[in-house]
Amino acid sequence: MKRTFPIALASAVGLFGLVQFFVPHRALAGIFQELNRWDVFVYAGALVLGTVSLIRHHWTKVRRRSEHWQYSTVTLVSLFATAGIGLVTGMERGTLFNDVFVNVLMPLEATMFALLAFFIASASFRAFRARSFEATVLLLTAVVVMLGRVPIGHAISDVLPGAADWLLDYANTAAKRAIMIGVGLGIASTALKVLLGIERSYLGEE
């Protein structure tokens, strides 16, 4: 019963969501909208579960003095400090919580993304080595697109901007559509397995 009821519930809700798309009835649409409003409880539960898991993980590292446990200490202190400040002062503009978010968190995020640029450049350098025909095509395409999107490309040749636009509008769009078709088929197959009770990973380990 502990496993049968969740499977039956997931299948019933999934089938209802599928049926209401093909049966345009006001009552079914109203029930579906109400179910969507209940999603906020699922999100809240996931937030609480994730927070508890984060605290347990880092507290265990601090207690055992595992490798880099100092960073776990900073994480826990930051978590409780920001949560306490938000509960006491609120989160509106002008509060201490908003000042911490704007002056601490946002610069940290900007720094992280700035560092990611170097990793992206390094990965691009390794990927663009013309060791095979496919890598050579990737390298030439990237060069044409990059040159076609900067002013120096216009100065070199008037063909480069048009070639870059053609690659983005046709070749790139075709590849993106193929990927989206594959993603759609994957979503459909996964949904079908959940509806039939074949996919049970959401129940946890056996």
Q: Are 82 and 100 in contact (CB under 8 A)?
A: yes
What value does the mean pLDDT take over residues 180-200? 87
Q: Is the pLDDT of residue 3 over 80?
A: no
What stretches of the chain show up as alpha helix (H) in DSSP? 4-22, 26-37, 39-64, 69-89, 96-100, 106-127, 133-148, 151-156, 159-166, 172-195
**CA 186/CA 189 separation, integer angstroms:** 5
Query: Up-side HSE of residue 159: CA atoms within 13 Å toward CB?
Result: 1
pLDDT tens per residue, range 29-73: 888 888 888 888 888 888 999 999 999 999 999 999 888 899 999
Q: For residue 187, which amino acid is it?
A: I
For residue 154, give both structure tokens.
Answer: 């216009």
Q: Are 61 and 72 in contact (CB under 8 A)?
A: yes
Domain ranges of the chain: 90-116, 128-197
Mean pLDDT taken over the chain: 85
Q: Is the pLDDT of residue 130 over 70?
A: no
pLDDT tens per residue, range 72-124: 999 999 999 988 988 888 888 888 888 888 888 889 888 988 888 788 777 77
- The 3-class secondary structure across 5-28, one letter per residue, is HHHHHHHHHHHHHHHHHHCCCHHH
